[in-house]
Amino acid sequence: HRDLGVMDISLFDFDSFYGTKFGMDKAARLEYGDSQMTHAMLFTGVDLDSKGKPTKWRVENSWGDKGGDKGYHIMTDKWFDNYNYEVVVHKSCLPDDLVKIFETSEPIPLKPWDPMGALAK
């Protein structure tokens, strides 16, 4: 809900309301153009459960202070899993095994039309 600043895939139960299933997985949404990478957000906080697993994220939207709490929104981890495609993380925050992969692997060039090839179309 953009005005309230809540990003939660469980916020509305469209399946029950319409009496049908609206389930495309992330790969299908990308393939059929139902979901695209369109803008960036800055993650400013995380809520962890007792086992240290994220349950929700606090994000600052790139649209400025419109919507949410002066531009800040709450995103559930399920929404993050379903609609987040790319993250940029400083190397100092990565585990050593990922840093090693980054430093020893060759980049894989993507075609310009690949859904992962650009932030926005």
- pLDDT tens by residue, 39-61: 788 999 999 999 999 999 999 98
* Within a domain: 70: yes
Paired sense of beta strands 72-76 and 6-7, if any: parallel
CATH number at residue 12: 2.40.50
Residue 54's DSSP bridge partners are 48
**Domain span including residue 30:** 6-87
In a domain, 80, yes or no: yes
What distances in angstroms separate CA 33 from CA 38, 76, 84, 110, one per listed residue?
Answer: 12, 23, 15, 18
Domain membership of residue 99 (yes or no) is no
Residue 49 included in any domain:
yes
The pair of structure tokens assigned to 64 is 């400025």
Asked if residue 121 is part of any domain, the answer here is: no
Residue 68 lies in a domain: yes
Domain count for the chain? 1
The one-character DSSP state at 96 is: H
Taking only the tens place, the pLDDT of each residue in 66-120 is: 888 998 999 999 999 988 888 888 999 999 999 999 999 998 888 877 777 665 5
Beta bridge partners of 7: 75
Mean pLDDT of 19-42: 83
CB 42 within 8 A of CB 59: yes
Does any domain span residue 27? yes
Residue pair 36/84 in contact (Cβ under 8 Å)? The answer is no
Q: Is 94 within a domain?
A: no
pTM for the structure as a whole: 0.76
